[in-house]
């Protein structure tokens, strides 16, 4: 059985820098990114998998080094030796306008 974790981060860091730090932290911890969703310049969601609890703790350490500190409860991890699926959501705090693009009507 796989464990599933959800991490939520709010950051005033530039979104390109934050996403780069997140993907680097996941890769350096032995994990891999399965999917991602970018919600304009407001938020990003990264789905990832990581091998075990030790690698997950390494990921959390890497995130803290990069000044991205999620609220985490390690007690929810069921087994130390099973893979962990995760969803990391970052909300960007800024005063920039939305990147919404005008789409003309069809027909």
Segment 5-37, tens digit of pLDDT: 888 888 888 999 989 989 999 999 899 999 999
Could you please report the per-residue DSSP string of the chain? --EEEEEEEEE-S-HHHHHHHHHHHHHHTT-EEEEEEEETTTEEEEEEEESSHHHHHHHHHHHHHTT------GGG---TTS-EEEEEEEEE---PPP-PPP-PPP-
Instruction: Inform me whether the pLDDT recorded for 94 exceeds 80.
Output: yes
- Domain assignment present for residue 104? The answer is no
Domain around 53: 3-92
Number of structural domains the chain divides into: 1
* pLDDT value of position 67: 67
- Domain assignment present for residue 86? The answer is yes
pTM of structure: 0.79
């Amino acid at each position: 059985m796989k464990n599933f974790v959800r991490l939520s981060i709010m950051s005033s860091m530039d979104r390109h820098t934050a996403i780069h730090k997140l993907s680097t932290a996941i890769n350096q911890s032995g994990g891999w990114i399965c999917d991602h969703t970018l919600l304009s310049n407001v938020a990003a969601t990264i789905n990832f998998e990581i091998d075990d609890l030790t690698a997950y703790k390494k990921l959390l350490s890497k995130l803290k080094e990069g000044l991205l500190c999620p609220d985490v409860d390690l007690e929810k991890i069921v087994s130390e030796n099973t893979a962990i699926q995760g969803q990391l959501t970052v909300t960007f705090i800024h005063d920039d306008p939305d990147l919404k693009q005008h789409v003309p009507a069809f027909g």
